[in-house]
Structure 1
C-alpha cells in the first residue's frame, strides 16, 4: 500500500531534516516532536515488514533508511528514560537535610487563562520556596497577590506581550537584576537566593521566544540568549540554577550545547520525560519547561503538576545542595568545537539584534523627516 511507503518517507525526512544546520523555524521545529516521530516510525517499520507484497529494491532501501531514522531518534530520546544512567543522583533517605534544600515551582500560566485559583491551589499544596510564573501580566499579578504574605521577596515583571514573569521567594533574594539580554521585549531575572543553611545559589529565570511562524521566524535569538547565560555560568564557581520555559526541548542541539558550555545537569536524564506542553493535547507533548542545576545539587523530588488551565503544565522540583554530590556527579565534557559553536551562535544573535535595532532607528528617523 502506497500510504505505508509515504509514512516511512515522512518519518525518514523529518528525522534528518533537523540535522540541517539552519535556524529557521521550519528546520528547528523538527527538534520538538521526536517522540511522536518515533512512534510513527515504529508503526511504519512494522507495516513495512508485514506488508503482503513482493520485496523490491525501493522497499529495501526504504527499510534501511527507516531503521537509520529510528536509531537516530532513539539516540536523542532514550537518555530521558529509566534505562539510561542518571545524570543527577537521588538524595538518599539518610542524606535529607531540609535546610540545604530548595523547592521550585515553574508555571507558564498562559496570559488569557483565568484559572488563577488552580495555580494558587498548587502553590498552597506544595508550598515551594520559589515560584516562577511566566506570561504573567498586571491581572495575574493582582490575582496572585494572595500568596504575597508567604513570599516576602518578589521580582515582578508584568508585561502584556506574553513574556511577563514574576518571581516569588520565601528565601532571601539579593543582587537582583531584571535584564533584557537581546531584546527589549524579553526579560530575564538574575538573582541570588540564600538557603536556610546559608548557602547562596545563583538563579537565572528565562523565557526566550520560540522559533515559530507566529513568534520568532528563527531560533537565533533564543539560542544566543541561552548560550550567553551558559557562557556566564561556566566561569562561576558557585551553586547555580537555570529555570523557565526555554521554548526548546531537552534533546535539541542548542540545549545540549548549553549544558556542555555551562556545566549544568538535567535531573530528567535517566529518569523520565517531563512533557509540559501542550497540556490540552496528550498526543502532542514535549518538554519546554526546564530546571538545570550545578553539580553540587542532587534530586529530592521532581514531578509534573496537574492541569491548571494553561497550555503548559507546571513543574515542581526539589533539590538539595552538598559538596558530596559535587564529588560524585560529573558535568558534560566540553570540547573546543563546542566553544566555537557557542561563540558563533552568540555573535550571530548579537549581530541580529544590532541589525534589528538599526532598522527600527532608521524607520524612526525616516518618520521624523517625513
Structure 2
C-alpha cells in the first residue's frame, strides 16, 4: 500500500461527498490532512465519521479548520496554521468549486462560469497554490477550475502542447473581455521572478524552508508532529487552569462578603483584606497570563484576529482590566479604610460597599461573556 505518512495535505471542500472520500483516502494512506471547511458543524461531523483513522489527541492526523476558500485572509491563515503544526505542505486538493448545468455553447453560461472562476477560485489558487509550490514545486496538486469551464480539447489534451494551446486561448479571451493588452511572456516571467524573490526573503518562508530541510524524510518527523500537538495541548491546559483560578477567585468574593456582613468589625476587616490579597496576588495576575497564553494559542493555531469571538474577547478583556484595576481595586481599598475608621454601620461605609457590589456585578457579567465567547466561538 502507498505510504504517505511523511506527507501533509490541504483539502478544500472537505465536507462534500468527494471531499470526504478524498480525506478518508489520504488518512488511510497515512497522510496528515488539514481539511478546510466553511461550516464548523459539518467539519465536526466529518471528523466523527472518520473515527480512529483521524488519529488521536496525542497524534492528530486530521486538522479541521474553518476557512472560506473565497476569503484570501482565511486561506492565508490556514496555510500558516498548517505550517506551524506540521512544517510542510506537500499536497493540495482543491475540491471547493461550483456547479452549473447547461450547453457548452451557451455564451452566457460560460461567461458566468468564467467570472466566478476568476473572482473566487483564482485568488485561492494563487495564494495557496503558489505557497504550496514554493515548498514542494513537484507536488502542487492544484485543481485548475478555470480549465474545466473551457472547451473539451483544452481539457483532455493534458500534454504540454495542449496546455499551451489552452492557455493561449484563455489569454486571448481575457484580452478581448478587458480591452487591455496582456503583458508578453517575458514580462510575466520577470514579474513572477520578482514575486518569488520577495517570498524567498520573507522570514516565514525562510523558517518554513528550514523546517522542511530538517524534517523531510527524517525518521523523527512523526515524533515532531506529536510533540508540537502536545505543546499546544499543554499551553491550552495552562490557559484553562488560569481561567479557573481567575474566575473562581472572583466568584468567591460575593460569598465571602455576604457571610462576613453578619460578623464583628474585626472579622469583616480581615475578610476584606483577604479578598484584596487574593485579587492582587492571584486573580489579576491570572487574568494577565490568560491574555498572554491566549495570544500564543491564536498565533500557533494561525487563527486571524479578525474573527468575531477573538476580537470581542480581547476587547472585553481590556474593559475588564480597566474596570477591575481602575475601579474595583480602589473601591476595595476605600472600603477597608472606611470600615476601620468609621465602622460597618456608618453611612459612608454602606455607600462604598454598595459601589463595590455594583462594580463586582459588572465584572462578573463581562467575565461570563468572555467565557461564552471562548467556549462557543461564534462566527
The TM-score with structure 2 as length reference comes to 0.26
TM-score by length of 1: 0.26
Larger Cα Rg: Structure 1 or Structure 2?
Answer: 2
Q: RCO higher in 1 or 2 (8 Å CA, sep ≥ 6)?
A: 1
